């Protein structure tokens, strides 16, 4: 039966405990068509279900975080969403925290509905945290923040992402700001204000690509988790984390998907690969 109990600790505190206990790694669950084919699976709901179940079986009892990419489930319609619901529930039951990679962003009643869908414990899609796009304005996501706080969950806002197209928005200067603050830095500053005073670790995190350099913000002041996608297939290595994150290394949640998942569908091979990745990230992040 799905657990609908509100966690007794904040997401930030639960994430800190998970990283310390299981090691600093977030494993992506990205069942795109090419990967299903590489696993010898059909590109349909049956293949999706087999893929997601194998990843949960192999990894959910040993990684701190699993991160399903919602789009790869949504493409199969309602039956794909049903698989996503089971994947989230089974991963959490095995002890992993789940960050749903949905990158939602909107205003008013729509973002309120997203909050109810992903961050309310009564929802079948409830996740420990969700990724969100703040580019309709940081405060447009207020229903996500409020619902997350009420339900012991978290939100990761996109700040400085590794895709080349992101820089034109994220590194643009705030109009009429005499300090020359970039949009991405303003988002991080707003998240830091939200996390101010949080003990252990705040619950409003940021997405910072592991391949990004020259971030115009002191990440140590965020007082929240830093989700760092890009290890492996996107070209980043664990050693790059020291360059990008500096004094905030202990708050980094390195994320990898394709580089890890290519070792499937063999469960033992997946477990060996994730153990190596955790060891490398522990060394790089000073655990």
Q: What residues make up the domain containing 33?
A: 11-282
> Is residue 2, in this structure, part of any structural domain at all?
no
> Is residue 6, in this structure, part of any structural domain at all?
no
Catalytic one among 2, 22, 103, 171?
Answer: 103
Q: How many CB atoms lie within 10 A of CB 164?
A: 7
Mean pLDDT, the chain, whole residue set: 95
pLDDT band at 205 (very low <50, low <70, confident <90, very high): very high
> Is residue 161, in this structure, part of any structural domain at all?
yes
Looking from the CA of 257 toward its CB, the CA atoms found within 13 Å total 17
Cα separation, 11 vs 1, whole angstroms = 22
pLDDT at res. 1: 66
Cα separation, 63 vs 95, whole angstroms = 8
pLDDT at res. 149: 97
> Is residue 92, in this structure, part of any structural domain at all?
yes
> Is residue 5, in this structure, part of any structural domain at all?
no
pLDDT at res. 233: 66
67 catalytically annotated:
no
Average pLDDT over residues 243-248: 91
Return the CATH number at 145.
Answer: 3.20.20.70
pLDDT at res. 239: 86
Phi and psi at residue 221, in whole multiples of 5°? Answer: -85, -5
> Is residue 191, in this structure, part of any structural domain at all?
yes
Whole-model pTM? 0.97
> Is residue 1, in this structure, part of any structural domain at all?
no
Average pLDDT over residues 13-38: 98
pLDDT over 90 at 248, yes or no: yes
> Is residue 27, in this structure, part of any structural domain at all?
yes
Number of domains in the chain: 1
Give 92-137 pLDDT, tens digit per residue: 999 999 999 999 999 999 999 999 999 999 999 999 999 999 999 9
Phi and psi at residue 208, in whole multiples of 5°? Answer: -125, 115
pLDDT at res. 237: 86
């Amino acid at each position: 039966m799905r657990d609908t109990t509100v966690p007794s600790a904040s997401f930030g505190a639960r994430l800190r405990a998970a990283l310390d206990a299981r090691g600093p790694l977030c494993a992506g669950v990205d069942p795109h068509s090419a990967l299903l084919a590489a696993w010898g699976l059909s590109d349909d709901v049956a293949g999706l279900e087999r893929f997601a179940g194998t990843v949960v079986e192999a990894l959910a009892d040993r990684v701190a975080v699993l991160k399903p990419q919602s789009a790869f489930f949504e493409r199969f319609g309602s039956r794909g969403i049903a698989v996503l619901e089971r994947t989230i529930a089974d991963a959490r039951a095995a002890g992993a925290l789940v960050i749903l990679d949905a990158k939602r962003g909107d205003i008013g009643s729509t973002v309120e509905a997203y909050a109810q869908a992903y961050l309310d414990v009564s929802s079948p899609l409830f996740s420990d945290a969700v990724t969100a796009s703040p580019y309709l304005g940081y405060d447009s996501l207020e229903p996500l923040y409020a619902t997350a706080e009420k339900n012991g969950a978290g939100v990761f806002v996109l700040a400085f992402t590794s895709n080349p197209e992101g820089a034109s928005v994220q590194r643009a200067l705030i109009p009429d700001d005499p300090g020359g603050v970039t949009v991405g830095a303003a988002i991080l500053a707003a998240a830091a204000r939200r996390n101010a005073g949080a003990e252990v670790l705040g619950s409003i995190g940021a997405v910072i690509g592991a391949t990004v350099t020259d971030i115009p913000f002191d990440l140590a002041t965020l007082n929240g988790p830093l989700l760092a996608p890009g290890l492996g297939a996107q070209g980043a290595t664990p050693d790059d984390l020291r360059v990008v994150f500096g004094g905030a290394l202990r708050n980094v949640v390195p994320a990898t998907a394709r580089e890890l998942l290519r070792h499937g569908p063999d469960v033992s091979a997946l477990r060996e690969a994730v153990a190596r990745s955790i060891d490398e990230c522990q060394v790089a992040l000073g655990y």
